[in-house]
Every structure is written in C-alpha cells, then in structure tokens.
A = this chain, B = another copy of it.
Amino acid sequence: MDLSVNLPRGLRLKNPIIAASGTFGFGPEYAAYVDLNQLGGISVKGISPKPWRGNPPPRVWETPAGLLNSIGLQNPGLATFIEEDIPFLASVDTAVIANIIGHTVEEYRQVAERLSQEERIDAFEVNISCPNVKEGGISFGHDPRQAFLVTQAVRSVTEKPVMVKVSPNMAEPWVVAQAAVDAGADMISAINTLVGMAIDLKRRRPALGGVTGGLSGPAVKPVALRVVYEIASRVSVPVIGMGGIESAEDVLEFFLAGARAVMVGTVTFQYPERMLSIIEEIPKVWRRYGFQDLPEAVGAAHLDKEGEPG
C-alpha cells in the first residue's frame, strides 16, 4: 500500500505519521530510539524569536488515560534552533515542520520569515492554541480575528505550506479554523491540548507549577475526533488530526473523521518506537476494515458518504 501523503504546496510525507510538536524535541533526542528517516514528518518544539523560559515545575502530571503538561513553551529561540538543530535535521530524510510561536503577530512573522529561508524547513505549523501561556497561545487561538492576523502575517512571508493548529478549548473551533483558512492557511492541524488541572493532595496545591495545564493522551481522543470531524466537514483544506493516538486503528478513526495525516504525541513517552509500529500496521488495519488505500478512508464516516458497507 502506498503510504505517502500529498499535501498542499508540494508537501509530501512518506507516510501519514508525524511526531507531534513538543513531544519530540528538535529531533536528535529520540534518534537513538527511532529511525527518524522512517517517520512521515517531525513537528519540532515551538520556536519563538527569543528564548522562552517556560513555566515553573512540576510540569507533568498523570491523569486517567491522560497527561497534563505545563511546559509553557520553553524553547531556546530562533537563533539557537538555526545554529544547533537545523544542521542535525539536515541529516534526516523526513518532512520537518517548524512549529512557531510568538507573543505578538510580529513575532510569529519574524520566525516564519527567517525560517522560510531555510531549505530544511518543509512547512510551518502556527501554534495559536497552547493553553499554557497567555500570549502566543490561547489569546490568539480563541479569537478568529487574531487567528486571521497571525496567519496572514505568516502567509505574507513564506511560500512554504502553512498549517494552523487549533485549540479545542472553545465552543466552535471551526470558526477559528475558517478564519485561518481565509487568511491563507493551507492546512489545519487539530487538536492542541485541553485545559485541565490536577490537585496534589499531599501538598494541597495545584499539581502543576503552572496551576493549569494541557491535557493530552487517549483521554482526549473523543474530543479530538469531534473537532477534526467538524472542521473537516466545514473547511476546504486538509486537516492533520491528533489527540490520543496510540494505534493504527486510532489513525483510521481520525482518517474516517476527515484527517489526511496525523500527529502522535503523548504515547511516544511510554513507547518511543510506537510511531514506527503504527506505520507498519497501517496497511493491515486499513485492509481489515475494507480500505484499499489511504485516501479512500478520508472522511468516510461523514454522514453524506455512503456507509455500512459490510
């Protein structure tokens, strides 16, 4: 089965499995555990113009079938990324997606403009949906007008494919997705984490240093599928789905909901090699449910499609 995925502006993935931003560092960290050349792509940790310090620890907490994190987008900044990480990434044969963040529209533009000159960057993922920081995160992501402006700023400085990453923490995420598309986004990725919190009973305090955090992992899969389903049925551009994917069956669920590729995050912490076994399983699982190729499954569960084949 041909696992490659063709996306807008010539973005071609070997297969539909992309390492999700923030869970896979800048690439080298997992290289001892996963043959990076076998991945469909890597979305690197969010990059801002200057280094960000991030939130106070503790930064992770287990919840039932889920993970809360409050990393707060710590990153070494654009210059260090170019100097230290792009050379490494240049040695890897997979699509590299630069996840970009900023405090202001101008900061997003800066990062995109500079990285647009880097051959090694294949696409941008504009993160306007991180619940762990006020600026550069949810404030852009919950306001269609802001989402439009950020996307427009990035679009204006690059010819590379641009995806905008949407937050599930609002009533109608598709409105923000549509605003991004209106401003020139080539794709939508969804979802970022759900806002949540835990209490450390022993300390009588919020468990995370950042008080609230972002919930990811299998627990959020139903929320993610619904957001992907709704966006896919409303916007005209490809959707990259994520949220709690653990298996090739989960990938198929996202495809049936309308995704054309997926990202895999939290499960990598438990099983670093899981993305590779998912890639291996896809043909078998697709055939088990009667699909002959990847595109056939895209959106197949939408109610305007023909169903109940068996």
Report yes or no: B253 in contact with A225, Cβ–Cβ below 8 A.
no
B-chain residues with CB within 8 Å of residue A221 when the two chains form the complex = 63-64, 198
Give the docked Cα–Cα distance between A68 and B222 (Å). 8
Indicate if the CB atoms of A222 and B249 lie closer than 8 Å.
no
Q: Quick check: is A1 within 8 A (CB to CB) of the other chain?
A: no
Copies of the polypeptide in the assembly:
2
A205 & B66 in contact (Cβ 8 Å cutoff): no
A257 at the interface (CB under 8 A from B): yes
Interface size class, chain A: 35 or more
Instruction: Answer whether residue A170 sits at the interface, using C-beta atoms and an 8 A cutoff.
Output: yes
* With contact pairs A204-B308, A205-B307, A206-B303 given, residues A199 and B64 touching in the complex (Cβ less than 8 Å): no
Which B residues touch A301, using CB under 8 A?
A: 199, 204-206
Interface string of A195-234 (1 = CB under 8 A from B): 1111101111110000111010111111101100100000
> 5 A-B contacts, Cβ less than 8 Å apart?
A65-B66, A195-B223, A197-B222, A206-B301, A215-B222
Q: A64-B244, A203-B307, A203-B308 are in contact. List 6 more A-B contacts (CB 8 A).
A: A63-B218, A171-B171, A198-B222, A199-B301, A201-B249, A215-B222
Residues on A lying within 8 angstroms of B by beta carbon are 63-66, 68, 138, 142, 169-171, 194-199, 201-206, 211-213, 215, 217-223, 225-226, 229, 244, 249, 252-253, 256-257, 289, 300-301, 303, 305, 307-310
